[in-house]
Amino acid sequence: MQTKIVDLRSDTVTKPSPEMWKALKSLDNTQIGDDVYREDPTVNELEDTAAKITGKEAALLVTSGTQGNLVSLLGSTQPGDEILVESMSHILYYEVGGAARIGGLTPRPYFSNKGIASLDDDLQPLIRPRDDDHQPWITLLCVENTHNNHGGTVLSPAYLKDLNKFTESNNDMKIHMDGARIFNAVVSMKLPITDFTQHVDSMVFCLSKGLSCPIGSVVVGSQEFIDKARKFRKMLGGGMRQAGIIAVMGLLALQEKWIKRLEDDHRNAKRLASGLKDSSLPIQFSKPETNILMVECPPTTPMEKLVRALGNKGVLTLHKKNKLRLVTHYGITTEDIDFSIEQIIKVMKKFLH
């Protein structure tokens, strides 16, 4: 019976650090209140901290990245508008069509090279004239940083700056960044987060992925935008009461030393890639930029059987078509990585020819 389990399915499976549990246990009734009335001091501190760190006027605690993206879209558009979303983005793939169902928005996908679209070839042809009564207005461009389905790739501040200029020259569209893993981008490029956020109008980042909090994401933007987002959060049932029990862990997660800890995940992802590269297996992948490794197997590979066999050997993974998705995170050690390399090679040799 397999006793050792290494869960590489996602960084959403992380557990709080001992310091986070200690902070939660030390919380008392003077540090929590009704957040709908804006009376929870710990939530207020988290939102003020997030706004300051990201260089934005205000912030809003939400239940999830999906909710954060949706309130951001609603706060930046009007029903009937069209929004540009990357063809493999989380907003398009994994958010249940909320933009269309709830926001009355038409998502229009654009193609890219690992999340980075050509302004002239991929984006400009999609821009509609404002004076054509038959066509909706495009009012928002969405980007994802790091990009999940492209293997945790980073959109650099230089690229975001170019996007900003592009949107300004095209009817002054707004930019929303799904920055669920933005701190992975920050650590990867060794740049302040403000180098990224200064070029976008709004952003959501997750506390519950690499930062290893159990619940929550944060939306940041202008005060006017956050006021709108707060109203939409309430509409979606996201108005929480004594939410300081969530925020107290988020405050620890935003400390510089904890963000810097993401470097461990990046090193482990590279270690995993290096070990698989030396295996001589018929697989392909790019060197991971952050904490996600996408391993492309031959098209004929029975991926469901492969994933099940890996699980039986103690390595939990996910797949999308013929790509195996391996995500490193808090709680995964170098010993876990070495164990995973050994098991993945053994199992793959049985399935890949």
pLDDT recorded at residue 1? 60
Q: Are residues 160 and 244 in the same domain?
A: yes
Sign of CA dihedral 194, 200, 205, 210: negative
The pLDDT tens digits of the residues spanning 83-131 come to: 999 999 999 999 999 999 999 999 999 999 999 999 999 999 999 988 8
Contact 33, 39 (CB under 8 A): yes
Alpha helices in the chain (DSSP H): 18-25, 41-54, 65-76, 90-93, 98-101, 157-168, 182-189, 194-197, 223-235, 244-253, 256-260, 262-277, 303-312, 334-351
Q: Are residues 241 and 279 in the same domain?
A: no
Distance between CA atoms of residues 108 and 163, nearest Å: 17
**Parent domain of 219:** 32-258
Q: Is residue 22 part of a domain?
A: no
User: Which residues touch 59 (CB under 8 Å, ≥6 apart)?
Assistant: 46, 47, 48, 50, 51, 218, 219, 220, 226
**CATH assignment of the domain containing 244:** 3.40.640.10
Which residue matches tokens 């997750």?
A: 206
**CATH assignment of the domain containing 10:** 3.90.1150.10
Q: Is residue 1 part of a domain?
A: no
Q: Is residue 199 part of a domain?
A: yes
Contact 154, 289 (CB under 8 A): yes
Using alpha carbons, select from 322, 329, 330, 328 the residue that is nearest to residue 348. Answer: 322
The pLDDT tens digits of the residues spanning 193-232 come to: 999 999 999 999 999 999 999 999 999 999 999 999 999 9
What is residue 83's three-state secondary structure?
strand
